[in-house]
Structure 1
């Protein structure tokens, strides 16, 4: 079986990172149609929280599929989905106890934007440069990481304003963390003064740790000041935790690192251990204004996805998964720092928990996206799947399973090291 034989039947709109045909997976590994086994540091783009085909997830899926596949959650209720809503309320921060289930990240973002507008009766949304929230019309309208995503689709949703995120790539060169924080906050205040009055803004939407933008961790002061401005002006804070949430950073949700609770949160990716599921989560008071019929879904809250999601939550509790993420993340970061010390083309190592990235630069400091792609190509030839990130496409992000072992980390680092040894100056 060759991908080329089937390519004529697939839209080219979906960019393919490889031509591999994956036929099976187990834990941190994928096996393709040729029988080759790959160490998978992509995991469905941070989706497989427990790796491929975790036994408890497979068991939960099978058990539910034998009983009921779907009858539409807007027609009937499912025990698994009801229980998932209750258990999510037990792990989400603050009073974020009311859930609207959907199918993917972009769909959840669209829902969150609608909810914010309904509740505040205000028209405007503020988003950040470098952000990625999805490619549906609403989510794309608040995505600022790649102009090509927006090309030919204008006009998008109106009254969306972008401001600076405290990334080194998006702030004046040479600024330290404190200077980047002050600069970005001043840019937001200038936006309020010159372009959109605060009392017209329904929500500020941000990733507490930018994903596609480069796994960029803002300062605690920055996130707290955003929260303060939202409180001051009656603006809702939407935190997109689709990639940073569900244990990826070593806490259940990245917002905990900043001691900030959003008004609305979107989650997805890892929630159902590999099945398509996402959610908009808010307070009962805010959700109360989202009246019946204002939003809907045919497949959202699917019982098989919910059963899988319950198995994921069980594993968090039973295996001390967050403790493991912090330990494994500390170890992985130390190995990445070791590579940085060895190769001068690695200009940065950053992230939290197992949400880590390395950045490639040329000797003159310019982004080395070409070198990154050469490294990724070499890794693929050596049976390691990797993922890029960054507004300049010069970052490699690590999206291992949350239960990745030290041996698996060592295998991946050894491959990256061997490839870089041929391509980079030591």
Structure 2
């Protein structure tokens, strides 16, 4: 690149940072943020995992302003929840209009037509053929709890297979399936019995071979169920379901290979086992398709939905093939599930994603991944780039040859990014997750990656 071209590029970059970048007014945390953090420490449960002292006050689009007036780029999106960005005007209007009409009537005991309307909208984009049935709760964990119960009820079987690295929630049933970090289970036993964990295909950590060898490794992870579990301790006719994340979230944003998912589907079909896709973090357009499992063409029997479905309102959905949800009244329910305001937000969210954000997630995400892949050659502590759409993982290592995890270095990068006005989160032992609102534009994405790259360079020094 010529000297003139370099100067023009520098000027353009500075202009983008001024227009699309964060705007910081104080050292971080600011004085008001420090007070809130101190008060929080006095009265709020210490079980929450705060990565840095971000004290939010307001948000618009992909921007969040803290109590001191500092404006950040949000590439965490409330843990992939704010799919349409903060306070999207269409979502706000839907919430306000609904709040003025009906706030609560309890779909457990009464009828509400928008519960049907949302079910029909989700049925039209389901990753498996209909007809379908839907259960409404308030969170991803509740959607998973429903999936556990309906799988056991429908099949009359008691056992469920989950995967190492999985995160399915923190309520007792969902926690029993979770296998992400020991602290999540420490001192909470006994957990729900009948859960068996098996290896998830994490090729970067467990297979350093060729593409063909990695494909074989992925198949072996699936076949472990038949060749080890079913031949030693677990009769297949007593397994109700296999639950998996098409992209593991808390496990490190690890993408399941297509051949692995297809082999799991074959095993389920052969043994009469239900396949549950936990799409709580990966679904509702996050990967550039409605569901992460859509990329493989594999059709589940049950889908767990939450996070991005209602742009920040509490809503969890368990979607099944209609024949699966064959339980009788009183078998399962939720007082607040299907809350009118949450459903209004979900309907507005689906409108925005269908019209604009689905395509945008695919396009902006592809360009981000393309740029990030170049960092493996450029930055010695970037070990792996993986993801789909706007669900992107960056694995941080001490050394690319040994692939030794560098969790402390990852944490330092996250902290440095915060100090520069970029909100990101870690996942797994040593990975960074990028999950911005699906409405992020290319200039905002470029500025965010500039800040992140600067943070990596500084942390490496």
TM-score range, shorter chain: over 0.9
Give the match for residue 440 of structure 2: 404
Give the match for residue 124 of structure 1: 159
Structure 1 contact 101–278 (Cα < 8 Å) conserved: yes
C-alpha RMSD of matched pairs (Å): 1.4
- 1:179-226 Cα distance to aligned partner (Å, 9 max, x none): 321321232121111110100000000011111111111221110110
1:317 aligned to which of 335, 345, 354: 354
SS in 1 for 2:246: coil
Structure 2 contact 84–353 (Cα < 8 Å) conserved: no
TM-score by length of 1: 0.96
CA distance in 2, matches of 1:178, 1:191: 21
Post-superposition offset of 1:349: 0.4
Post-superposition offset of 1:171: 3.4
Structure 2: segments with no counterpart, 5+ residues: 1-31
CA distance in 1, matches of 2:375, 2:209: 23
CA distance in 2, matches of 1:334, 1:130: 26
1:418 aligned to which of 454, 457, 460: 454
Which sits farther off after the overlay, 37-46 or 8-17?
8-17
Structure 2 contact 247–282 (Cα < 8 Å) conserved: yes
Give the match for residue 220 of structure 1: 258
Structure 1 contact 164–188 (Cα < 8 Å) conserved: no
Aligned pair count reads 421
Is 2:81 aligned against 1:47? yes
Post-superposition offset of 1:83: 1.1
Is 2:172 aligned against 1:134? no
CA distance in 2, matches of 1:223, 1:205: 11
SS in 1 for 2:72: strand
Give the match for residue 84 of structure 1: 118
Give the match for residue 338 of structure 2: 301
Post-superposition offset of 1:76: 2.2
Structure 2 contact 63–72 (Cα < 8 Å) conserved: yes
1:331 aligned to which of 358, 367, 384: 367
CA distance in 2, matches of 1:316, 1:387: 23
- In structure 2, relative to structure 1, the CA distance for the partners of 1:240 and 1:342 (3 Å cut) is same
- In structure 2, relative to structure 1, the CA distance for the partners of 1:333 and 1:280 (3 Å cut) is same
- 1:118-176 Cα distance to aligned partner (Å, 9 max, x none): 00000100000110000100000001111111111121010110101100366356574
Which sits farther off after the overlay, 182-191 or 395-404?
182-191
CA distance in 2, matches of 1:122, 1:252: 31
Give the match for residue 242 of structure 1: 280
SS in 2 for 1:38: strand
- The higher radius of gyration belongs to 2
Structure 1: segments with no counterpart, 5+ residues: none
Give the match for residue 353 of structure 1: 389
Post-superposition offset of 1:377: 0.8
SS in 2 for 1:286: coil
